Amino acid sequence: MNQLKENSVNIEPIKLLMGSHDDTAKTGSGCFMNVIAYLNGEPQITDQSPCVCVTVRPLAIKLNDLGNDEQRQRLLPFVLRAMGSATQDVSILNARRARLRQYGQECHEIVTAWKAELKAEDAKRHADAYANAYADANAYADVYADAYARRLKASLFNAGIRFLDDVLPAAEPVCEVVAQRCETLVQLQSA
């Protein structure tokens, strides 16, 4: 039987990447679910690891791909928490689904507020555009829209982090095999 490691494992050096990467075992990096599949010892590195709860997996994949490189690294503490979160316990699944509905409502409210703010700013921007040269107004509009889109994505990403933190169990000590696999990924990152 695998012994549990007393200390928690540091996986912070592992780099999470956008999209799926079946070469995680060779590169030491991959998406959230690829890293889990590798650590779980699955024969094929995919984003469909059966050890992750069905309510968590799709959102973890979306967050991984929604976030920029810096945001994506904020998902690392949830990798070990998500491993083994799969359950058949109806009460746990129902609680997670209820929290997922809350997350959906929170996202709806974020997008609605963002649209209202953008609409108000759009009216101001159009007024400003008449005062500026046409080329300047277009450049301003592009920069402004990009900044708003980044802020919206960040808000949605933060709401997803709160969801994961709410529904995933606390990290537990890992078995020696998982600890060794973590160390392998970290070594590959530094190579």
Is 44 in a helix, a strand, or coil? Answer: coil
CA–CA distance, 178 with 92 (Å, rounded to integer): 25
Q: Of 125 and 31, which is predicted with more confidence?
A: 31
Alpha helices in the chain (DSSP H): 24-27, 32-39, 57-66, 69-73, 76-82, 90-131, 134-167, 176-190
Q: Where on the phi/psi map is residue 19: left (φ > 0), alpha (ψ -120 to 50), or beta? A: left
129 pLDDT above the threshold of 80:
no
Q: What is the pLDDT of residue 151?
A: 84
Task: Give the lowest-confidence range in 25-34, 51-60, 117-126.
Answer: 117-126
AA letter at 111: V
Cross-strand bridge partners of residue 16: 30
What residue has token string 């959102």? 59
CA–CA distance, 8 with 173 (Å, rounded to integer): 6
Q: Angle at CA 164, nearest 5°, toward 57 and 40?
A: 50
Calculate mean pLDDT across residues 121-133. Answer: 58
Calculate mean pLDDT across residues 149-178. Answer: 91
Number of Cβ within a 10 Å radius of residue 189? 15
Query: What size, in residues, is the chain?
Result: 191
33 pLDDT above the threshold of 70:
yes
64 pLDDT above the threshold of 90:
yes
Calculate mean pLDDT across residues 41-59. Answer: 94
Calculate mean pLDDT across residues 16-41. Answer: 93
Which residues 6+ apart lie within 8 Å of 75 measured at CB?
16, 32, 60, 63, 64, 67, 161, 164
- Mean pLDDT score of the chain: 85
Q: Of 33 and 5, which is predicted with more confidence?
A: 33
Q: Of 6 and 50, which is predicted with more confidence?
A: 50
Locate the domains of the chain by residue range.
Answer: 24-190
- Look up residue 90 and give its two tokens: 């109806």
For residue 118, name the pLDDT band (cuts at 50, 70, 90): confident
User: What confidence tens digit (pLDDT) does each residue in 70-97 have?
Assistant: 999 999 999 999 999 999 999 999 999 9
62 pLDDT above the threshold of 60:
yes
Q: What is the pLDDT of residue 32?
A: 96
Cross-strand bridge partners of residue 4: 175
Rounded to two decimals, what is the model's pTM?
0.81
